[in-house]
Amino acid sequence: MARKKSAPVARPKPMLDAWFENAGITQEEEITDTLEKNYLPYAMSVIISRALPEIDGFKPAHRKLLYTMYKMGLLNGQRTKSANVVGQTMRLNPHGDQAIYETMVRLTRANECLLHPYVDSKGNFGKHYSRDMAFAASRYTEVKLAPICEALFNEIDKETVDFMPNYDNTMTEPCLLPATFPSILVNANMGIAVSMASNICPFNLAELCETCIALIKNPEHDILSTLKAPDFPGGGLLIYDETELRKVYDTGRGSLKLRAKWNYDASAGCIEVTEIPYTTTLEAIKDKITELSKAGKLKEVTYARDEIDVNGFRLAIDIKRNTDPEKLMQKLFKMTPLQDSFGCNFNILIGNTPKVMGIREILTEWTAFRHECVKRRVAFDLRKKKDRLHLLSGLKKILLDLDKAIAIIRDASTEAHVIENLIQSFALDAIQAEYVAEIKLRHLNREYISSRLADVDKLKEEISDMEDILANPARIQKIIIKELRDTARKYGQPRKTMFCYISESDELPAEEETPDYPVHFFLSKEGYFKKITPLSLRMSGEQKLKEGDCIIQQSEGTNRTELLFFTNKAQVYKIRASAFDDGKASLLGEYIPVKLGFDEDEKIIGLIPTLDYAGKLLFIFENGKISKIPLSAYMTKTNRKKLTAAFSDKSPVMGMLYLSDETDIFLRSDGNKAVLINTELIAEKSTRSSQGIQVMTIRLKQQIISAEIPDPERLSQLEKYRVQNIPAIGKSARNLEEANQMPLV
């Protein structure tokens, strides 16, 4: 049977007209309004609820996970499957099981990421020092809380911290954990929020507790005298720099240098690296060594391998015979992550406000937080003891006539009458009467009641003592100090990161890596470059060049000279002379655009060889402007091969001149005008891309065609073109011979 097609639903015509009328119309809105409504709430959520740690040392994800494990009884119980913990944590953290499990992995003892792990683990959780060692799935691993978590949770049920509803309002979770030690500085913590980040290095627990105690006693205490330096779980060596450490301690920002720990096995002919910087991995180090070996920069190394087993790891570096291991390690420290930096940024949430603080301020904030926790705990215990005393006071009243109390309970017709009759007969309140009525019949005797009442005097003393604690902040400070000492004694451990004291003279200079000898440099117009030793140059004939090519620059230097190739696209390429093989005059040389990877249509306009970056550069532009830039502006701390914005690109560059000192320069335009000026008239610019200042005024569609530094004999002939002020129009140069010479670099 054929199915009958249903008729289309008819829409009212006015509705259709309105829909078509508004279709495709976009509503204009200010960008500030869009950001305020859409982006700012997201940014605030990331900062407050995800990325930055709070004064208790935890991000929300960490706190939710640990609190769930505490509620599951994993502080003193047996281990359970990680999958069970992940599933239970999703009641507080709705971001997915994989995100929760990855958070757990970082907190485990097996991962070795934390100085004091919070999770006792069994199974494969990967390793912090390995990029490629993946952790096993949550169904294979087991976890429980580590013993140190007792210092986080032992008083959480005494109203020491506030609680808030979870995301679906079915249960509550703590806003903070009442840690009895400054956990914010005990374990490393990194977070990236929106427009801000946090990177906190770990410190030794015993040293940190000692420092906190000293600050409580004396706010002006010298922190560096007790808190020696950060202590990383991976060990290694910290290059001790007191100035930088004090900067980190005072401002919360700075950079610390970490170095690998190693030894030399002479029998095997290899260097054994046993501890590496916290900020890198074995694979990153090995890959860098392999890369440098293939590039010919580590000729002393034959092979590098990582040897990881159940006892830890070892990175073995096989070296050639007769290699000095000390010098090689200095070279490796400079060229590989075997020496790395930890950038400190102590950005912490204080009252939902991100704040970068130094050690003193962080410990002061933690002490204030801990002071409030202790105060709330004592107040909670005080209320409980007062309630207990109140109940015992009622029990004391019935001791005077036990038979009457028993008769009231026995003769009452209903339970409600029991409470009413006890209140009336013994002058009790409802709470006391309820307590008396709930006593078992077997306990309604003088011996039992007398034994209970023996605690009254002790309770009164304890209540009086607690009231004195709440009224005396100094006593609360003593409690905090005692807890810090107990924590340090119970969980403290020896330092893992030791100190390395070095000076600049101890580090291998870069020049020692390269043999030094005199050479001559030749650059052709087409971009061919030759490095020739003096001996080879004396024994050779004419320079071999391509047809139509010519040598435009010749200079002297050494094999350690740095070569700066400037191009017409306002870029400079930096390379050591040692990167070129020694050549001969009979060879074409190396083609620079290919060697340095020039962009399309990029050409060389000049070469500057230097060892110390002394002197200045003059960039002469076709529009009559000249920019004077110190050569030191092109010096970089890192080994960068290419710098953009080497000079201004607002006008085509006609040429460039190198100045070792102020001198005279001669300029000529294609309008047959010429000027002679001293470079002192040209102000030096600190910015490489500066457009310079107008030196020669030229007419529209005209340009500078030559610039030179005249020799003394020629200078006397050009004196009539000298000007004392700039910009200058210049004088006619129609009859000037040799005026069309190209500028010399």
Residues labelled as active-site residues: 140
List all residues 6 or more positions away from 401 whose beta carbon is below 8 Å from its beta carbon: 426
Q: Which of 371, 63, 378, 52 is nearest to 212 (CA)?
A: 371
The runs of H, that is alpha helices, within 90-204 are: 97-107, 150-153
Q: Which of 359, 329, 318 is nearest to 237 (CA)?
A: 329
Q: How many helices (H) and strands (E) does the chain have?
A: 21, 33
Q: In what order do the strands lie in the sheet with 704-708?
A: 704-708, 664-669, 673-678, 731-732
- Contact of 516 with 560, CB cutoff 8 Å: yes
- Contact of 659 with 610, CB cutoff 8 Å: no
Around Cβ 162, how many Cβ atoms within 10 Å? Answer: 10
Token duo for residue 461: 């003393």
Distance CA 586, CA 654 (A): 32
User: Tell me, what DSSP letter sits at residue 108?
Assistant: B
282-294 vs 325-335: helix axis angle to the nearest 10? 100
Distance CA 284, CA 708 (A): 51
Token duo for residue 653: 């560059």
Measured CA to CA in angstroms, residue 617 lies from 176, 557, 607, 629, 742 at distances of 60, 18, 11, 5, 17
Query: What would the 3-class secondary structure string for 408-473 be?
Result: HHHHCCCHHHHHHHHHHHHCCCHHHHHHHHCCCHHHCCHHHHHHHHCCHHHHHHHHHHHHHHHHCH
Residue ranges of E strands in 97-240: 119-122, 142-145, 163-165, 172-174, 189-192, 197-200, 237-239
430-437 vs 415-426: helix axis angle to the nearest 10? 120
**Across-strand partners of 179?**
none
Residue ranges of E strands in 292-383: 301-309, 312-319, 339-345, 347-350, 353-356
Q: Is 166 exposed, middle or buried (0-12, 13-18, 19+ CB in 10 A)?
A: middle
Task: Say which residue the tokens 């002679």 belong to.
Answer: 676
List all residues 6 or more positions away from 711 whose beta carbon is below 8 Å from its beta carbon: none
List all residues 6 or more positions away from 727 whose beta carbon is below 8 Å from its beta carbon: 624, 693, 694, 695, 696, 697
Distance CA 212, CA 230 (A): 15
Distance CA 381, CA 398 (A): 26
Distance CA 648, CA 694 (A): 14
DSSP string, 358-395: -HHHHHHHHHHHHHHHHHHHHHHHHHHHHHHHHHHHHH
- Contact of 358 with 348, CB cutoff 8 Å: no
List all residues 6 or more positions away from 268 whose beta carbon is below 8 Å from its beta carbon: 316
**Across-strand partners of 343?**
255
First to last CA, the chain: 96
Pairing of strands 353-356, 237-239: unpaired
> Can you say whether the dihedral through the CA atoms of 118, 124, 126, 129 is positive or negative?
positive
User: Tell me, what DSSP letter sits at residue 683?
Assistant: P
